[in-house]
Every structure is written in structure tokens, then in C-alpha cells.
A = this chain, B = another copy of it.
Amino acid sequence: MIILMKTGSTQQDIDAVVSLLKERGLGANLSTGSQATVIGVLGDKTKLEGANLELMEGVEKCVPIMHSYKLASREMTPEGRTVNVGGVVIGGKKLVMMAGPCAVESEEQVREAALGVKEAGAQFLRGGAYKPRTSPYAFQGLEDEGYRILRRVGDETGLKVISEIVSHDEIDVACKYCDMLQIGARNMQNFRLLREVGRSGKPVLLKRGVASTIEEWLDAAEYIMSEGNYNVVLCERGVRTFETATRNTLDVSAVPVVRERSCLPILIDPSHAAGKAAYVAPLALAGVAAGADGLIVEVHPNPRTARSDAAQQLTVPAYKELVEKVSAVAAAVGREL
């Protein structure tokens, strides 16, 4: 932590800050410039909880110099982490492909999607059982029956199953039927849910909130990891901006930034970023070229009958075509499918 004093702060102001630091067992290092004094705090800044230095006389502002997350940081695990989901490794040389319908609508629909994406080369089947919807009058998902359908079809096809969990009440059932739990963008700061999935030990795909900074996202990952569950994979799915041509704005820069700051793998969800099927492939390829560890893509056997997010779901043939392109781009950046 660095404390910047105001132009015009007095020696008394500076002494008061230094005294407080000493009372708390911290060191102080003063830099007195021509216009302002800067105080470097030496020691464990958690000792400053409640000290509220920014309210002391003469203090202009306090600048933190360390991340608040530790387990999720690259510093602590410089070699990076991989997450192993029943034998499928996320974060290695091989990209991981997750695909399936936005919402579980029926066993037939899920099976048709699953067979298609399996054939295309996906390792994971995705599908929403509990659907968070903006309006209370929209289709809310098949709930627990959705999880069961995914499990049955996953077992049939040999695909791992990932599905969103929207409340900690469903954690036992979700853990029973899924191989990996997804925390959606709206719940990225549902801290109770983060702690519970942390306690569950299940691998977690943590989507970025639409208005969350990368630092806040890594803090959210830290919530899960601080409960002892290190099997966390991040997923960039677009942030909210002023642009309306796409549903959200895919922040592809998040890939190198996360790579630099965090030890966790990162996937790209081009479907929610795009909001339109025609844009999914370009965004998917961009994510892979930028270094993402895989993709999660919405695929529906017949998007025209989908009960949610119809405009952004790919058909099975379109997904197959995408996977071929992904394979070529992956090779070009030293990865493989």
C-alpha cells in the first residue's frame, strides 16, 4: 500500500499517519517530493483493516499495490494450473470443446445435440437445467429433470456434463448429475454460491460478470479456491458496453491478461458475446488465436424451435464446420484439438 499525502499536508499530518502505522506493527517509508509526500507501508496490510487511512487529515489517497487474490494469482503458481474433469484436462496443450443447447428442452433434443457435437469432436455436453431469465414470464428451464437428462445422455455418448447452478439449494443434485458446475455471469458475485461450490470440490467454470473487471473476477475465483477447491476454470463471455450490434462485447484481451495475472485456465464463450449465430465462428477463432484453452458454444439440433437464445445457437453442421476451423487455428498457435 502506498499513501499519497495532499499537496499542503503538514508535518503533523504525516506524523499522525506514521504513528498509526507503527501502532499496528507496520513500517513506513517516506518519499518527500517537491509537491507531495508519499508514504510506503511495509508489512502485512491486513493489519490495516478498519484503519481507514484515507480519512486521516492530509491524506489524498491510498493506492494498493498487491492483488487481493492469492491462490488465483500467477505469482503463487507460476507454472499455471490444469483442471482435470474425469480424465479431460483443461489448460493443457489440447483445447477443450464444450457444446450443447442453451436450455435442456427434452431428452431427444439433448441427445440429438450431444451426438452431433460428440461427432464433431467435443468432450463436454453443456445445457441449461435452471435458466436465469430477465423476465419472470420467460421459460425457466426443466430444473432437476434437466440435470438428469444431461447425465443420461452424457453417459450414453461418453461426454462430460456441465450445467449451470443458480442457487446453492441445488448443489447436491447438481453435483450428483454433473461433472462440472457452471457459475453464470449474473452469479459471479453471488458469494454464498461461490463458497458452496468451493466446498463441494467439484470442478467449476466461472463466467465473468458482464460488468466485472478482471480483478473482481479473480477475486470471485479466490472465493471458490479459499474453500479448498482449486478446480476453477474461467470463462470470458462478453462485457456490457455501449455497442448494440452484438449482445455483449467479447473482451478477447482477457485471455492474455488472465494468463499473465492468474494461474487458472480460461475458455471463451462466443455465443453469449455474439448473440447472433453468424458472429459465433469469428469470435471463437479469435479466442483460440488469442490463446484460450477451449470454447463453450451453444449448439441446438434445430435452433428455430429453441425456447431461449435461438438467434445465437449454431446448428450441428455449423458447429462441425466451426470445429474444423478451430482445429486449423489451434495448430497455427501451437495447440491442438
Task: Say if the beta carbon of A177 comes within 8 Å of chain B.
Answer: no
A244 to B130, CA, bound (A): 29
Name the residue in A34, A43, A134, A278 with the highest tally of chain B Cβ atoms < 10 Å from its Cβ: A134
B139→A166 contact, CB < 8 A: no
Task: Say if the beta carbon of A155 comes within 8 Å of chain B.
Answer: no
* Cβ contacts under 8 Å, A49 to chain B: 138-139, 307
B245→A241 contact, CB < 8 A: no
**A32-56 to B contact mask, C-beta < 8 Å, 1/0:** 1111101011111010011110111
A49 to B304, CA, bound (A): 11
Task: Say if the beta carbon of A125 comes within 8 Å of chain B.
Answer: no
Task: Say if the beta carbon of A77 comes within 8 Å of chain B.
Answer: no
* Cβ contacts under 8 Å, A325 to chain B: 332-333
Task: Say if the beta carbon of A310 comes within 8 Å of chain B.
Answer: yes
| Interface hit among A79-87, A145-153, A253-261 | A253-261
* Cβ contacts under 8 Å, A44 to chain B: 34
A283 to B252, CA, bound (A): 7
A246 to B257, CA, bound (A): 8
A31→B33 contact, CB < 8 A: no
B311→A55 contact, CB < 8 A: yes
Candidates B31, B136, B211, B260; contact of A222 at CB < 8 Å: B136
Which residue on B lies nearest to A315, using beta carbons? B55
**Closest CB in chain B relative to A281 CB, distance in Å:** 8
B245→A249 contact, CB < 8 A: no
B38→A189 contact, CB < 8 A: no
Q: What's the number of copies of this chain in the assembled complex? A: 4
Candidates B4, B279, B310; contact of A253 at CB < 8 Å: B279
B253→A249 contact, CB < 8 A: yes
A63→B66 contact, CB < 8 A: no
Which residue on B lies nearest to A73, using beta carbons? B7
* Cβ contacts under 8 Å, A40 to chain B: 31, 33, 38, 40
* Cβ contacts under 8 Å, A139 to chain B: 49-50
A22 to B239, CA, bound (A): 38
> Mind listing 12 A-B residue pairs with CB under 8 Å?
A29-B30, A33-B65, A52-B304, A52-B305, A132-B189, A136-B219, A136-B223, A167-B168, A213-B245, A214-B245, A245-B253, A331-B332
Interface residues of A, Cβ cutoff 8 Å to B: 2, 4, 7-8, 29-36, 38, 40-44, 46, 49-52, 54-56, 63, 65-66, 68-69, 75, 132-139, 166-169, 186-187, 189-192, 195, 209-211, 213-216, 219, 222-223, 226, 239-246, 249-257, 260-261, 273-274, 277-279, 282-283, 285-291, 303-307, 310-311, 325, 328-329, 331-333
Q: Which are the 6 A-B pairs with shortest beta-carbon distances?
A: A31-B40, A211-B211, A29-B31, A52-B310, A289-B289, A328-B332
